[in-house]
Amino acid sequence: MGALEVFARAAGTRVAYVKPHGALYNRAVHDEEQARAIVSGAILGGRLPVLGLPESVLLECAREAGLEAVEEAFADRAYTASATLVPRSVTGAVVTDADAVVARSVAIATGEGVADADGAPLAIAARSLCVHGDTPGAVDLARRVRAALEDAGVTVAPFATAPR
């Protein structure tokens, strides 16, 4: 965390939160040892907020440590019936249709929820919404998502200042 903060300061910014990536993110959903290691890093980094899937072990550990636990949803990823992410190795795990991503974003943010991978309704309560940067056309997609959220009356703000 110290090295990351040095790089961030050299770029004129600061580390504002901790969000593990990829396999570590998914493992920390259920693995307490990995979750606690991530939380330890967030504490060393200055008691930073931690992002993770709602009802994950990671967010439970963050709360136990007195950190801000930020529930995150994914606009461009498919969910299992248990509200975890469908592995990328499974066909359909990544939602690539821009219109679908935009519609899912609004549905999540307004409490409608989305369909899980089997088509059943799934409610996702989140304060942060992720659109992956490696999704084709990600910048334009993020702009469309923001515009659709604002059109739907959703306040778009940093989670640290967003209403809870």
Domain-ending residue, one of 71, 92, 115: 71
Q: Are residues 148 and 135 in the same domain?
A: yes
Question: What's the mean pLDDT in 55-68?
Answer: 98
Domain count, the chain: 2
Q: Which residue has the higher pLDDT, 162 or 68?
A: 68
Q: Are residues 67 and 89 in the same domain?
A: no
Question: What's the mean pLDDT in 134-146?
Answer: 91
- Pick from 129, 97, 98: nearest CA to 111: 129
Helices (H), the chain: 2-10, 22-27, 32-44, 57-64, 98-109, 138-151
Task: Quickly state the pLDDT bin for 78 (edges 50, 70, 90).
Answer: very high
121 lies in some domain: yes
Q: Are residues 66 and 79 in the same domain?
A: no
**Containing structural domain, residue 137:** 75-158
Q: Are residues 82 and 152 in the same domain?
A: yes
What pLDDT, on the 0 to 100 scale, is given for residue 134? 84
Q: Are residues 34 and 55 in the same domain?
A: yes
Q: Are residues 110 and 90 in the same domain?
A: yes
Q: Are residues 113 and 148 in the same domain?
A: yes
- Look at residue 161 and tell me whether its pLDDT is greater than 80: no
Cβ(106)–Cβ(154) under 8 Å? yes
Q: Are residues 89 and 146 in the same domain?
A: yes
Q: Are residues 81 and 153 in the same domain?
A: yes
CATH number of the domain residue 12 falls in: 3.40.50
- Look at residue 50 and tell me whether its pLDDT is greater than 80: yes
Domain-ending residue, one of 43, 71, 99: 71
What pLDDT, on the 0 to 100 scale, is given for residue 136? 76
Q: Are residues 37 and 109 in the same domain?
A: no
The helix (H) or strand (E) run that includes residue 121 is: strand 121-122
164 lies in some domain: no
Contacts of 32 (CB under 8 A, 6+ apart): 57, 61
Domain-ending residue, one of 53, 71, 89: 71
At residue 41, φ and ψ (nearest 5 deg) are -65, -40
Q: Are residues 23 and 91 in the same domain?
A: no
What pLDDT, on the 0 to 100 scale, is given for residue 130? 95
Q: Are residues 4 and 29 in the same domain?
A: yes
- Look at residue 141 and tell me whether its pLDDT is greater than 50: yes
